[in-house]
Structure 1
Amino acid sequence: MNAISLKLSLGPVLFFWSREDILRFYAEAADWPLDTIYLGEVVCGRRQQMRGQDWISLAADLAAAGREVVLSCQALIEGESDLKRVRKLVDNGELAIEANDLGAVRMAREKRLPFVAGPHLNVYNADTLAVMQMLGAFRWLPPVEMSRDTLAGVLAEAERQQLAVETEVFAWGRLPLALSSRCFTARHYNLNKDDCQFRCLEHPDGMRLATRDSQNFLTINGIQTLSDGCQALLPHLDDMQKIGVRRVRISPQWQGTDAVVHAFGRLLREPGHSRQLLPELARQAPGELVDGYWRGQAGIRPLEIQDAHS
């Protein structure tokens, strides 16, 4: 089979890791087969072990190593301090940003800075995508719950409108589902949000939440709610390319991200090996492998490895 021409990106770290762990992680990632690396704090403004200038300096180092680097902005802007952090990234003067809030879109437009329309902007149709392109977007990520068939329809209409915005799909990792002004991790420890004691540091892959029937259901990550299951779209890479997707995203996890990146890289070079790779990756994943949303079903529906194909 011919190689798949999708590009591979590493999304921003969604969890709260120490500065030392962040720097060590990206020092390793610099040698992985990636086309693009996203950097920045997307979830919580209190997570400041890495300041804006730290992210910008790290981005410059990775760009010098030959990677496209994008600075990811916070998704829930709650006050002036959050806005200042976004401005700091927008004012870097060179690197594109990933906008996850319309405030970041406005700032990027004012600076004439190209941006990636992140999944939190909730772009569901080609007309909205056309607006994003007009504002300066050169790439977009569909919302994580968008199905394959819905995305195919959006991309067909985007082609009819002659839009030139590249499509990137969230292809691996716990799915970022929602954000709240309340910190669920602090609440778990009976702490106030403003005195959370940074308990998220104790949960580098988030806190798993089960139903009363003891079924793993969601993951708590500070103010963010994610899926418990791990999105795994390896069997669908060839089909993604056929409908117009040009890039796939791997979301970092505490352990095993390198194995995931190399597995995706192998499948892009040598399609047809998902049956062999998925069982091993299932052992690396932070939760059960799922692909329900992509198939137009409940997101919690598990990937059936025995039926997987490329």
Structure 2
Amino acid sequence: MTDCKLTLGPLLYHWPTERKLDFYRRIAAEAPVDTVVLGEVVCPKRTAGEEILPELIALLQAAGKEVVLGSLALVMQPRERHATADLLELDLPVEAGDGTALALLRGRPHHAGPLLPVANEGTLAMLAGQGLRRICFAGELPGSTVAVLAAEAARLGVEAEAFVFGRLPLAISARCYHARNHGLAKDGCQFVCGEDPDGLVVDTLDGMPFVAINGVQTQTHSYVDLVGDLAALRAMGIHRFRLSPQDLDMVAVARTVRATLDGQIDPEEAAERLQDLTPDTDHSNGFFHGLEGRVQVAGRSPGLVE
């Protein structure tokens, strides 16, 4: 076994309660992940399943998984701020999704999620001084920037994590794209986002897949797939890798990435396995290689650390 660890990020989609329970039961029993981030991070209206959170925490901890609580990526109402503050009372690590959570967590050890705009050493140092202990870097960052930030994180004693699989969260809006698409108002959305358990891909006028929408969230239409770049990331000093839950066999995804990190299969075979799991969805690593995000680059681009 290597010293690398896998994190399963928060579920970004609106799944029924029973499906969530079944999903995390299997993750607890079968997935070789070290950490699981729980909690609603996209839309404060999605309260279905909140009652099973204690059960999920106990289930995952009994399986030896570290449990982290994620906070909303956009806080607009007092009740949402109170809900974020309530996370601090559960005696578990909290992953900040926005500045509101950072303010509440200041002075306490905490984590930061990929939607926080940390793209330079100064910001990272400031957050470390306020209690940041782990950060998942934004998936849009090129590898050259990740290398600089990873080195600074090591100097500051902050654990660095890379987003290596799944639809990358790009932005959060005050408006609900899913509701608008169905001719509904946000306040009367009828939770239509639940009809697309893996997000809804939006095409350009020319018929090219552009982005995916997930309620108030915008994501990449492709699955970010850095399985071929794991060696480069490890050379940068990153030893924690994030998988984002999608509507597919996430246990198989976790096993494939784990086997690659452990040297049991090569990156080429891993890439084939992941693509076989998702035959109808493109994969991409363009952001990491300093290119447009939708492309998939084989091998290492110039300028990345060996």
TM range (shorter): over 0.9
Look up the match of 1:293: 287
Look up the match of 1:6: 4
Report the alpha carbon displacement of residue 120 of structure 1 after superposing the two structures with TM.
1.5
* Structure 1 residues 70 and 158: CA distance shift in structure 2, 3 A: closer
Percent same amino acid among aligned pairs?
Answer: 37
> Given residue 28 of structure 2, which amino acid in structure 1 is its aligned partner?
A
Aligned runs of 1:130-141 on 2, under 5 Å?
130-141=125-136
Instruction: Note the alpha carbon deviations across 1:67-107, whole angstroms, 9 max, x for none.
Output: 11100011000101211221221111x21011011211222
Look up the match of 1:47: 46
CA contact (8 A) 1:117 1:132 kept: no
> Given residue 149 of structure 1, which amino acid in structure 2 is its aligned partner?
S
Aligned runs of 1:47-126 on 2, under 5 Å?
47-51=46-50, 54-92=52-90, 94-109=91-106, 112=108, 114-126=109-121
Instruction: Note the alpha carbon deviations across 1:237-257, whole angstroms, 9 max, x for none.
Output: 111111111200000011121
Once structures 1 and 2 are overlaid, which stretch shifts more, 267-276 or 233-242? 267-276
Looking at structure 2, the residues matched to 226 and 140 of structure 1 have their Cα atoms a distance apart, in angstroms, of: 20
Looking at structure 1, the residues matched to 127 and 290 of structure 2 have their Cα atoms a distance apart, in angstroms, of: 25
CA contact (8 A) 2:228 2:298 kept: no
Once structures 1 and 2 are overlaid, which stretch shifts more, 284-293 or 28-37? 284-293
* Structure 1 residues 272 and 280: CA distance shift in structure 2, 3 A: closer
* Structure 1 residues 288 and 139: CA distance shift in structure 2, 3 A: same
Looking at structure 2, the residues matched to 65 and 95 of structure 1 have their Cα atoms a distance apart, in angstroms, of: 16
* Structure 1 residues 194 and 294: CA distance shift in structure 2, 3 A: same
Q: Secondary structure at the match of 1:59?
A: helix
CA contact (8 A) 2:259 2:265 kept: no
Aligned runs of 1:250-289 on 2, under 5 Å?
250-270=243-263, 273-285=266-278, 287-289=281-283
Report the alpha carbon displacement of residue 155 of structure 1 after superposing the two structures with TM.
2.7
CA contact (8 A) 1:11 1:249 kept: yes
Looking at structure 2, the residues matched to 18 and 281 of structure 1 have their Cα atoms a distance apart, in angstroms, of: 26
Look up the match of 2:162: 169
Report the alpha carbon displacement of residue 277 of structure 1 after superposing the two structures with TM.
2.5
Which of 234, 238, 249 lines up with 1:241 in the alignment? 234
Structure 1's unaligned 5+ residue stretches are none
Looking at structure 2, the residues matched to 23 and 158 of structure 1 have their Cα atoms a distance apart, in angstroms, of: 35
Looking at structure 2, the residues matched to 269 and 246 of structure 1 have their Cα atoms a distance apart, in angstroms, of: 12
CA contact (8 A) 2:136 2:163 kept: yes
Looking at structure 2, the residues matched to 4 and 301 of structure 1 have their Cα atoms a distance apart, in angstroms, of: 29
Instruction: Note the alpha carbon deviations across 1:214-267, whole angstroms, 9 max, x for none.
Output: 111110100000000110001111111111112000000111211111101111
Report the alpha carbon displacement of residue 272 of structure 1 after superposing the two structures with TM.
5.2
Q: Secondary structure at the match of 1:120?
A: coil
TM-score (norm 1): 0.91
Which of 182, 192, 198 lines up with 1:205 in the alignment? 198
Instruction: Note the alpha carbon deviations across 1:155-211, whole angstroms, 9 max, x for none.
Output: 33445xx30000001000011011110100000000000000010111000111011
Report the alpha carbon displacement of residue 128 of structure 1 after superposing the two structures with TM.
1.0
Looking at structure 2, the residues matched to 103 and 239 of structure 1 have their Cα atoms a distance apart, in angstroms, of: 33
RMSD of aligned residue pairs (Cα, Å): 1.8
Q: Secondary structure at the match of 2:106?
A: helix
Q: Secondary structure at the match of 1:87?
A: helix
Look up the match of 1:38: 37
Looking at structure 2, the residues matched to 233 and 191 of structure 1 have their Cα atoms a distance apart, in angstroms, of: 37
**Number of aligned positions between the proteins:** 299
TM-score (norm 2): 0.93
Looking at structure 2, the residues matched to 270 and 217 of structure 1 have their Cα atoms a distance apart, in angstroms, of: 34
Report the alpha carbon displacement of residue 281 of structure 1 after superposing the two structures with TM.
1.3
Structure 2's unaligned 5+ residue stretches are none
Looking at structure 1, the residues matched to 77 and 152 of structure 2 have their Cα atoms a distance apart, in angstroms, of: 37
